[in-house]
């Protein structure tokens, strides 16, 4: 009996002190996560996953636990487990990307805030979205964002800008890390060469934001936010090529300078040197480019944990397009037509949080842009320097979240065009204030105002108001209204003024444009069950413009006339985005926009040129887990838009058809740290020459040597030639050689000339 009692006590003690081991793996999208956090709430035990994403928590007593896995940028996941005996329990986690509806954003209010709490609607796009359709620059990457359309402005050199809700590119302000880097000359070229390897996310605000950002933020703004060196991979590489011969390479790597700082470097190189003429007009279908961009960002570690970061970028590009036989020896001459552009650009930007108790941030940027270009035998030599400094004070007082700011902008611009008689040097001081008031837990109102002084145009005042109603955690309603202003830089923004044979007529001293905007935004989150999610966001807007400057192609087919509109312009519409994420591995991002963009002058309403009535975008993704394969089907569709033809005899269509660009991509990710991807772009092989006899007018006579004109007072037409100028009220005469009475014009463009092509690429990431 005594022996039985001893054996029972030994067994009882063994069971009482029995301990288990908990282990498993942490991954996301099939990739192991290094340094993911694993936490047990009940006994406060925590650990980190290793390089293979594996974790182990030993010596756990029997019981019930809640285990939570988390990783920066991904949605945390918790599981309930019961341990009843001495054993090894395996629990694996597959963390999902944090839904963009819950992102922290800074663009709408100049301060970090959860997107759901922001009074200003902000759309967020992360690198994973752009990887679904890999591109060589940010300009092309935005083609699958609803309501945003990259617009090519020239068939020869393929320069372009970004349209938001039907408004021309100069109405859109582009920021890098919140600094107004891309403006003026670089509205055409500045969106190329930003290394994708450094991209943290892109935030987009549609509608005026002039009360915070000043001129150019009339139609909306795009904020390109780069990675924090602390959170970036140790090394990353992404390179792809396609069947047209394009090559793009992105490299990124980070390092630490002792304990003082961390530094992130990114390099982008792009080359296309294979002239192709599929539409047989003896002109390059796609401009040839040789481009390099180097970006470096420093984060300094301060004892008080205050922010101090600096970044710089150097960009150089040599691009040309023109007749197939063009060589550099013909640059600037009138023998063979070519458009050749050399661009050299420096950028510096930084942010320094003052070492005081109050939250005050000084931000600064400086850009130096030099452009040496020729359009046929017309040289355009331009220099632009922009300096910007801004001090903000973020202060919370009871229910008021205040932001005070002052900014100073320096602008230098000079070119050899007739519009620039002397160098333009301007200092623009600004003051702004913003107050976000929490009326109740579910009601917020935001008031803002900005004052700018421009020596050429005097005082400019732009107020702003926003209201947010949080119906519940899953339903939010926002109303925003405000004003905007824009000071036009004609030759830097209107590419048509430089290329082709149209004469540029500026009828008056151009006054700043003003806009008045209102938009209503509704956001709804739906959790369907089993982890399935649907997000719905709808926005309707109305913007009214005075003093609008819209190029007039209609009054005279041989001229582009610029003046302030004697009337008003309006853009209005409705836009809807739907995000759907299913446990099955299916993800859908769908968007649709309907808009009406028009001008009214002398009581006559006209639809604006190059603006579509409707657009649609989609990104459909599906993961085949067993095959380690992701499939991405992306695309867009655009409705008809009015096009700039050259008179009644021009046989080209005056409206574009409904057209669509569609792409498919396959990504294999079984190999550790490596993704291999391939696919086909422009599956429908659509190009603008479909249904048109030609795209470039008079491509056979680009210097208009054989064009005849008449001023109406003589029956003896004279040769025009690009070296001359049209006589006022003169007309092109139709001849046997020129039956449609045209001049050389590459401005009839509304979509890319690049047809179907395959691509292949590889990504490597070392975390």
The count of domains in the chain is 3
Instruction: Give buried/exposed letters for 685-713 (b at 16+ CB in 10 A, else e).
Output: ebbbbeebebbbbbbebbbbeebbbeeee
CA 22/CA 86 separation, integer angstroms: 11
Q: Is 6 exposed, middle or buried (0-12, 13-18, 19+ CB in 10 A)?
A: exposed
So what's the pLDDT on residue 320?
Answer: 95
Q: Are residues 320 and 440 in the same domain?
A: yes
Q: H or E stretch including 98?
A: none
CA distances to 151, 194, 275, 409, 497 from 494, in Å? 12, 23, 26, 23, 6
Contact call for residues 218 and 403 (beta carbons, < 8 A): no
So what's the pLDDT on residue 632?
Answer: 97
So what's the pLDDT on residue 1?
Answer: 55
CATH number at residue 422: 2.40.170.20
So what's the pLDDT on residue 12?
Answer: 44
Give the residue carrying structure tokens 């092309």: 140
CA distances to 146, 616, 722 from 575, in Å? 8, 10, 44
Q: Is residue 712 part of a domain?
A: no
Q: Are residues 464 and 350 in the same domain?
A: yes
Q: Are residues 269 and 357 in the same domain?
A: yes
Q: Are residues 522 and 406 in the same domain?
A: yes
Those residues with Cβ within 8 angstroms of residue 148's Cβ, 6 or more apart along the chain or in another chain:
142, 162, 163, 164, 204, 222
Band of residue 27 on the pLDDT scale cut at 50, 70, 90: confident
CA 665/CA 657 separation, integer angstroms: 26
Q: Is residue 609 part of a domain?
A: yes
Q: Is residue 764 part of a domain?
A: no
So what's the pLDDT on residue 275?
Answer: 95
So what's the pLDDT on residue 280?
Answer: 93
Q: Are residues 58 and 111 in the same domain?
A: no
Q: Is residue 707 part of a domain?
A: no
Q: Is residue 750 part of a domain?
A: no
Q: Is residue 674 part of a domain?
A: yes
So what's the pLDDT on residue 558?
Answer: 64
Q: Are residues 116 and 15 in the same domain?
A: no
Q: Are residues 262 and 314 in the same domain?
A: yes
What's this model's pTM, rounded to 2 decimal places?
0.84
So what's the pLDDT on residue 567?
Answer: 87
So what's the pLDDT on residue 183?
Answer: 65
**If you average pLDDT over residues 317-322, what whole number do you get?**
94
Tokens representing residue 168 in the block: 């021309």
- Identify the CA nearest to 551 among candidates 588, 506, 516, 590: 506
Band of residue 723 on the pLDDT scale cut at 50, 70, 90: very low
Band of residue 541 on the pLDDT scale cut at 50, 70, 90: very high
From 29, 61, 94, give the residue that closes a domain.
94
From 177, 208, 224, give the residue that closes a domain.
224
Tokens representing residue 173 in the block: 């302000």
So what's the pLDDT on residue 30?
Answer: 65
Band of residue 572 on the pLDDT scale cut at 50, 70, 90: very high
From 28, 59, 94, give the residue that closes a domain.
94
Q: Are residues 472 and 536 in the same domain?
A: yes
CA 260/CA 271 separation, integer angstroms: 37
Q: What is the pLDDT of residues 153-178, one digit of tens each?
A: 888 988 878 888 888 777 788 888 88
CATH number at residue 39: 2.60.40.10
- Identify the CA nearest to 347 among candidates 193, 491, 487: 193
Tokens representing residue 405 in the block: 């700011």
Q: Are residues 667 and 528 in the same domain?
A: yes
Those residues with Cβ within 8 angstroms of residue 695's Cβ, 6 or more apart along the chain or in another chain:
155, 279, 281, 652, 688, 689, 748, 749, 753
Q: What is the pLDDT of residues 375-392, one digit of tens each?
A: 998 898 989 999 999 999
Those residues with Cβ within 8 angstroms of residue 707's Cβ, 6 or more apart along the chain or in another chain:
501, 698, 701, 719, 720, 721, 732, 738, 742, 743
Q: Are residues 602 and 550 in the same domain?
A: yes
Q: What is the pLDDT of residues 227-268, one digit of tens each?
A: 888 778 889 999 999 999 999 999 999 998 888 899 999 999
So what's the pLDDT on residue 14?
Answer: 44
So what's the pLDDT on residue 685?
Answer: 95
> Which of 49-63, 171-185, 300-314, 432-446 is predicted with the least confidence, judged by mean pLDDT?
171-185
So what's the pLDDT on residue 585?
Answer: 84
Backbone angles phi, psi at 140, to 5 degrees: -70, -30
So what's the pLDDT on residue 557?
Answer: 64
Q: Is residue 405 part of a domain?
A: yes
Q: Are residues 299 and 363 in the same domain?
A: yes
Q: Are residues 372 and 512 in the same domain?
A: yes
Q: Is residue 718 part of a domain?
A: no
**If you average pLDDT over residues 463-478, what whole number do you get?**
93
Band of residue 16 on the pLDDT scale cut at 50, 70, 90: very low
Query: Would you say how long the chain is, in residues?
Result: 767
So what's the pLDDT on residue 540?
Answer: 96
Question: What is the residue range of 171's domain?
Answer: 100-224
Band of residue 285 on the pLDDT scale cut at 50, 70, 90: very high
Contact call for residues 593 and 614 (beta carbons, < 8 A): yes
CATH number at residue 188: 2.170.130.10
So what's the pLDDT on residue 495?
Answer: 53
Q: Is 422 exposed, middle or buried (0-12, 13-18, 19+ CB in 10 A)?
A: exposed
Tokens representing residue 170 in the block: 């100069």
SS3 of 456-517: CCEEEEEEEEEEEEEEECCEEEEEEEEEEEECCCHHHHCHHHCCCCCEEEECCCCCCEEEEE
pLDDT at residue 662 above 80?
Answer: yes
Handedness of CA 182, 185, 188, 193 (dihedral sign): negative
């Amino acid at each position: 009996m005594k022996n039985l009692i001893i054996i029972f006590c030994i067994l009882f003690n063994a069971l009482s002190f029995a301990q288990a081991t908990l282990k498993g793996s942490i991954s996301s999208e099939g990739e192991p996560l290094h340094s993911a956090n694993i936490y047990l709430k009940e006994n406060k035990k925590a650990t980190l996953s290793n390089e293979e994403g594996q974790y182990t928590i030993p010596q756990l007593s029997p019981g019930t636990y809640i285990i939570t896995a988390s990783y920066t940028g991904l949605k945390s996941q918790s599981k309930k487990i019961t341990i009843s005996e001495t054993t090894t329990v395996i629990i694996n986690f597959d963390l999902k990307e944090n839904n963009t509806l819950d992102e922290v954003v800074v663009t709408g209010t100049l301060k970090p805030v959860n997107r759901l709490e922001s009074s200003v609607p902000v759309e967020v796009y992360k690198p994973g979205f752009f990887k679904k359709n890999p591109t060589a620059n940010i300009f092309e990457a935005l083609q699958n964002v609803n309501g945003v359309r990259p617009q090519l402005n020239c068939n020869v050199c393929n320069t372009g800008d970004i349209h938001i809700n039907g408004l021309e590119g100069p109405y859109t302000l582009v920021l890098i890390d919140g600094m107004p880097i891309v403006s003026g000359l670089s509205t055409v070229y500045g969106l190329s060469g930003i290394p994708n390897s450094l991209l943290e996310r892109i935030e987009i605000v549609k509608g005026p934001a002039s009360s915070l950002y000043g001129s150019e933020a009339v139609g909306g703004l795009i904020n390109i936010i780069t990675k924090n060196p602390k959170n970036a991979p140790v090394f990353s590489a992404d390179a792809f090529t396609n069947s047209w011969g394009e090559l793009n390479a992105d490299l990124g790597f980070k390092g630490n300078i002792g304990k003082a700082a961390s530094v992130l470097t990114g390099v982008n190189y792009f080359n296309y040197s294979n002239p192709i003429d599929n539409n047989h007009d003896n002109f390059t279908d796609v401009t040839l480019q040789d481009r390099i961009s180097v970006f470096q960002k420093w984060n300094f570690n301060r004892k008080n944990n205050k922010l101090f970061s600096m970044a710089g970028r150097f960009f150089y590009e040599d691009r040309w397009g023109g007749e197939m036989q063009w060589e550099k020896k013909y640059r600037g001459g009138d023998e063979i037509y070519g458009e050749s552009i050399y661009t050299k650009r420096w950028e510096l930007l930084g942010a320094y949080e003052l070492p005081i108790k109050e939250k005050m941030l000084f931000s600064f940027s400086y850009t130096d842009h030099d452009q040496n270009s020729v359009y046929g035998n017309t040289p355009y030599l331009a220099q632009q320097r922009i300096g910007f400094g801004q001090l903000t004070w973020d202060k919370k007082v009871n229910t008021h979240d205040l932001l005070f700011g002052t900014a100073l902008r320096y602008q230098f611009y000079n070119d050899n065009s007739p519009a620039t008689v002397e160098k333009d040097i301007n200092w623009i001081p600004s003051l702004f204030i913003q107050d976000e008031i929490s009326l109740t837990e579910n009601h917020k109102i935001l008031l803002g105002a900005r004052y700018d002084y421009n020596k050429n145009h005097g005082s400019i005042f732009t107020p702003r108001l926003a209201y947010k109603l949080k119906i519940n955690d899953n339903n939010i309603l926002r109303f925003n209204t405000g004003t905007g202003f824009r000071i036009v830089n004609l030759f830097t923004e209107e590419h048509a003024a430089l290329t082709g044979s149209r004469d540029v007529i500026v009828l008056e001293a151009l006054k700043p444009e003003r806009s008045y905007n209102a938009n209503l935004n509704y956001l709804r989150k739906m959790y369907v069950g089993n982890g399935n999610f649907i997000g719905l966001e709808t926005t309707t807007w109305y913007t009214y413009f005075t003093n609008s400057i819209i190029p007039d192609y209609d009054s005279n087919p041989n001229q582009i006339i610029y003046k302030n509109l004697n009337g008003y312009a309006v853009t209005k519409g409705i836009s809807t985005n739907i995000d759907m994420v299913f446990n099955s591995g299916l993800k859908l991002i769908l968007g649709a926009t309907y808009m009406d963009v028009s001008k009214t002058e002398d009581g006559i309403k006209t639809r604006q040129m190059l603006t579509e009535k409707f657009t649609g975008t989609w990104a459909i993704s599906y993961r085949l887990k067993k095959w380690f394969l992701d499939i991405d089907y992306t695309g867009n569709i655009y409705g008809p838009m009015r096009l700039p033809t050259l008179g009644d005899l021009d046989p080209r269509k005056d409206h574009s058809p409904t057209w669509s660009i569609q792409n498919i991509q396959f990504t294999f990710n079984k190999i550790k740290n490596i993704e291999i991807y391939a696919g086909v772009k422009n599956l429908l092989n659509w190009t603008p020459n479909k249904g048109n006899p030609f795209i470039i007018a008079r491509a056979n006579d680009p210097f208009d040597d054989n064009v005849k004109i008449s001023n109406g007072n003589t029956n003896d037409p004279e040769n025009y030639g690009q070296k001359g100028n049209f006589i006022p009220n003169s007309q092109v005469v139709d001849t046997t050689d020129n039956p449609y009475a045209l001049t050389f014009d590459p401005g009839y463009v509304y979509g890319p000339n690049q047809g179907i092509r395959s691509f292949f690429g590889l990504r490597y990431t070392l975390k």
